[in-house]
Amino acid sequence: MSIDFELPLRLNKGPLGYHIEGEVAFLHLSSGEETVVDVDVLEDVLKVRWHTVVSKNKSRKVLYVSSKGRRKNGKCGRTIRLHQFIGIVKGYPLDSYEEMDHLNGDGLDNRWQNLKPGTRIENQKNRHVLHSSKFHGVRRNRNSWNLRLVMLGVVYHILNCQSEEEAGSLAKLAYELRDVRELPIEKIRKIVRAKHLGG
């Protein structure tokens, strides 16, 4: 794919800090945030000057990693986000109707296994719901905490907990079962509820 802008190379203020853990690299951004990418795209990612941006939509705020492009005529060009850039590096020609979607809803998780090319409509179906807790997938409901799981754009209620910490711990398990083990919702519910009951 030919791109009509050139991404700016890093300034001479020093390289972007990062550390590698296994097959992934954690990049330290100037905002104090970290983003994670696969090691096989690290060399290309390090050539570009990145910063975080907050995307606000009706349901929640999401942090993304972006870079401002420069057109060949020297004027400012369009912005490209890190997940789009990784798609291009991986060989996906992102047509105007395609987007890269973060499957887990975390705009700082730019591992290839968390990215999926698709249309804007498909991306919107995977929108993650607002949560009123510090834990992903947990929401306050009067005197209890609801644990919810988003799968392919559908929000599933798993269970209610009395404490936010317990709901957060179970939410972590539920999302791990979804993302790592790729279990169906019925099995995830069964495992998480058994754990909740001490089984």
pLDDT at 32 over 60: yes
What pLDDT digit, counting tens, does each position of 138-197 carry? 887 777 888 888 776 677 888 888 888 998 899 889 988 888 878 888 899 999 999 988
Q: Tell me the mean pLDDT in the region 118-130.
A: 63
Q: What pLDDT, on a 0 to 100 scale, did the predictor assign at position 56? A: 62
Measured between alpha carbons, how far is 170 from 173 in angstroms, rounded to an integer?
A: 5
pLDDT at 1 over 60: no
The amino acid at residue 86 is I
Q: What pLDDT, on a 0 to 100 scale, did the predictor assign at position 128? A: 55
Q: What are phi and psi of 70, to 5 degrees?
A: -120, 125
180-186, long-range: CB < 8 A, 24+ apart:
185/149, 185/151, 185/156
Q: Tell me the mean pLDDT in the region 34-44.
A: 92
Ordered by where they begin, the domains of the chain are: 5-125 (3.90.75), 138-196 (no CATH)
Beta strands 34-38 and 109-110: pairing type? parallel
Residue 36 or 1, more confident: 36
Q: Which of 161, 171, 106, 105 is nearest to 135 (CA)?
A: 171
Q: What pLDDT, on a 0 to 100 scale, did the predictor assign at position 10? A: 47
